[in-house]
Amino acid sequence: MTRFDVLTVGNAIVDIISRCNDQFLIDNKITKAAMNLIDADRAELLYSRMGPALEASGGSAGNTAAGVANFGGRAAYFGKVAEDQLGEIFAHDIRAQGVHYETKPKGTFPPTARSMIFVTEDGERSMNTYLGACVELGPEDVEEDVVAAAKVTYFEGYLWDPPRAKEAIRECARIAHANGREMSMTLSDSFCVGRYREEFLDLMRSGTVDIVFANRDEALSLYETDDFEKALKLIAGDCKIAAVTIGKDGAVIVRGDERYVVDAHPIEERVDTTGAGDLFAAGFLFGYTQNRSLEDCGKLGNLAAAIVIEQIGPRPMRSLSEAAKETGLL
């Protein structure tokens, strides 16, 4: 029985988002446009230096689950928080989006993960993430009945940083494939790809993962090349379906010898790119689980990404379902 369209698995993180200029990044040794892992002391230091901030439940896969639900899809989520205020905020927010979320919290220490996100004047986001409780996610948190009842289980490449999460993902893959379901992953970040290139390629080539999401830089990093055409051909041969975003130029979807170039959805102002890739995956997977064409899946992904780029924060503040209807996609 299919209870869910998409189950996502990821690091349960509360985002703390603030605007800054490029000099702030330089002064604080922050790598621009990347996800920088930090310890508790650096988290406290950066927080003390932040300007006015917005707190919002985030985490890559959590954003994707919220996006699927916003489109009207049936979404579920696995991710670990602590029994603290930020953990309560995270759980409330994701359930309020209509997402099934029953992962048990992990005591009071380590605390719930948080990411200090600095948004520069060009809309680019630089993330500084203290993983905290989310690294405690393990195979015991896999709800077998949920995996078996989800059309697609999607996880974030960031999960390859905490070791026990790998066990949880492999268990999800075993259950999903045993029940005729599919597995999907996002490469998450070019630095993440650099850390786990061989493992990611093995996940794809072994058939553990069926559908892969990446942006242009991540695809180039995966194959250690500067030739985007070469990267597209290689990724098409390594997985069932790949969806590669290319910023203002939209996305390229490949399935074997098939290729679809989907133009970006127009935006009025590039406010904050936080969550753009997560929401692209949400739109694509929503379309995919509704048996839409790959081209339509790409259009739904680009629409969701455009909407979140025009606001602060990674969770859409307007109805994706209504926006899709207005543009004739639903």
pLDDT at 312: 86
Does a structural domain hold residue 205? yes
Mean pLDDT of the chain: 96
- The pLDDT score that the predictor gives to residue 161 is 84
Residue-range definition of the domain harbouring residue 317 = 4-11+60-109+138-327
**Assigned domain for 20 exists:** no
Alpha carbon separation from 245 to 12, 48, 50, 162 (Å, rounded): 24, 35, 30, 26
Is there a domain that residue 46 lies in? no
In a domain, residue 36? The reply is no
**Percentage of the chain exceeding pLDDT 70:** 100
Total number of domains constituting the chain: 1
Q: Which residue has the tokens 């689980």?
A: 289
The predicted model scores a pTM of 0.93
Q: Tell me whether residue 155 is exposed, middle or buried, using C-beta atoms within 10 angstroms of its C-beta: 0 to 12, 13 to 18, 19 or more.
A: buried
**Predicted local confidence at residue 243, as pLDDT:** 98
C-beta of residue 127 within 8 angstroms of C-beta of residue 42: no
Query: Does residue 35 sit within a domain?
Result: no
What pLDDT does residue 185 have? 98
Secondary structure of the chain in HEC code, one letter for each residue: CCCEEEEEECCCEEEEEEECCHHHHHHCCCCCCCEEECCHHHHHHHHHHCCCCEEEECCHHHHHHHHHHHHCCCEEEECCCCCCHHHHHHHHHHHHCCCEECCCCCCCCCCCEEEEEEECCCCCEEEEEECHHHHHCCHHHCCHHHHHCEEEEEEEHHHHCCHHHHHHHHHHHHHHHHCCCEEEEECCCHHHHHHHHHHHHHHHHCCCCCEEEEEHHHHHHHCCCCCHHHHHHHHHHHCCEEEEECHHHCEEEEECCEEEEECCCCCCCCCCCCCHHHHHHHHHHHHHHCCCCHHHHHHHHHHHHHHHHCCCCCCCCCCHHHHHHHCCCC
Confidence bin at 134 (pLDDT 50/70/90): very high
Does residue 152 lie within any of the structural domains? yes
Residue 180: inside a domain: yes
Q: Averaged over 16-21, what is the pLDDT? A: 95
The pLDDT-based confidence of 287 (bands split at 50, 70, 90) is: very high
pLDDT value at position 55? 86
Residue 4: is its pLDDT beyond 90? yes
Between 43-57, 132-146, 166-180, 196-210, the lowest mean confidence (pLDDT) is in 43-57
Tokens for 94, please give them: 């994701």
Q: What is the mean pLDDT of residues 187-191?
A: 93
**Residue 58: partners with Cβ closer than 8 Å, 6 or more residues away:** 13, 14, 15, 115, 274, 275, 313, 314, 315
Whether 132 is in a domain gets the answer no
Q: Kindly state the average pLDDT of the residues 88-108.
A: 95
Rounded CA gap, 177 and 156, in Å?
Answer: 18
pLDDT at 57: 87
* Alpha carbon of residue 290 to chain centroid: 20
Q: Is the peptide bond before 52 cis (omega within 30 degrees of 0)?
A: no
Which residues, listed in sequence order, are joined to residue 234 by a DSSP beta bridge? none
Question: pLDDT-based confidence at 137, cuts 50/70/90?
Answer: very high
Q: How far, in Å, CA of 173 to CA of 153, rounded?
A: 8
Q: Which is more confidently placed, 57 or 206?
A: 206
Does residue 297 register a pLDDT over 90?
yes
> Angle at CA 325, nearest 5°, toward 97 and 251?
85
Give the pLDDT confidence score for residue 309 in this predicted structure. 96
Q: Is the pLDDT of residue 206 over 90?
A: yes
CATH number at residue 298: 3.40.1190.20
Decide the pairing of beta strands 241-245 and 211-215. Answer: parallel
- Using the Cα atoms of residue 208, residue 211, residue 215 and residue 220 in order, give the sign of their dihedral: positive
